[in-house]
């Protein structure tokens, strides 16, 4: 994908709150020089207005339109919670993908993630992946439209 590198993947993170999970995903984007720290507040605000849980144990927190000036370059962070994070009352996230995209690149990113994670077995396999490379390789293998 080119927008995700090993430094922005955290594996085996202990369960925490949804807010802390979002913060961690955002902090990885900040550390990867993809966004400014203010973007994290936008991610938390987005979650209050609309859940970013997409099913199959996956959440994709991202900022709001007003946060676009906080984006330095398109990027994805991945945080793996093997024991899960309660996202909503009846939803548990095992993989949290922080997303920051310039322009309309987020549409391609979301499409790519959806293709990779639409199979519950594939999503669970990544939720228990032993290496960052397994996750990166799976995301890079998603079919891309020409």
Residues annotated as catalytic are: 62
What are the residues facing 92 on neighbouring strands?
86
Q: If we measure between CA atoms, which residue out of 95, 135, 114 comes closest to residue 5? A: 135
With residues binned 3-state (H G I as helix, E B as strand, rest as coil), the percentages for the chain, rounded to 5, are 45, 25, 30
Q: If we measure between CA atoms, which residue out of 75, 70, 94 comes closest to residue 21? A: 94
- The label of the residue with tokens 């309309």 reads 104
């Amino acid at each position: 994908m080119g927008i995700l590198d090993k430094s922005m993947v955290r594996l085996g993170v202990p369960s925490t709150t949804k807010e802390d999970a979002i913060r961690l995903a955002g902090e990885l984007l900040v550390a990867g020089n993809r966004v400014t720290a203010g973007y994290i507040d936008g991610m938390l605000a987005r979650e209050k207005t609309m859940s970013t849980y997409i099913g199959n144990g996956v959440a994709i927190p991202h900022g709001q339109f007003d946060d676009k000036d906080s984006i330095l370059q398109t990027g994805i962070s991945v945080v793996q919670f093997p024991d899960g994070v309660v996202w909503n009352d009846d939803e548990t996230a095992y993989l949290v993908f922080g997303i920051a995209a310039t322009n309309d690149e987020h549409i391609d990113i979301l499409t790519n993630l959806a293709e990779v994670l639409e199979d519950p077995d594939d999503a669970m396999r990544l939720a228990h992946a032993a290496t960052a490379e397994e996750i990166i390789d799976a995301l890079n293998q998603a079919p891309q439209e020409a």
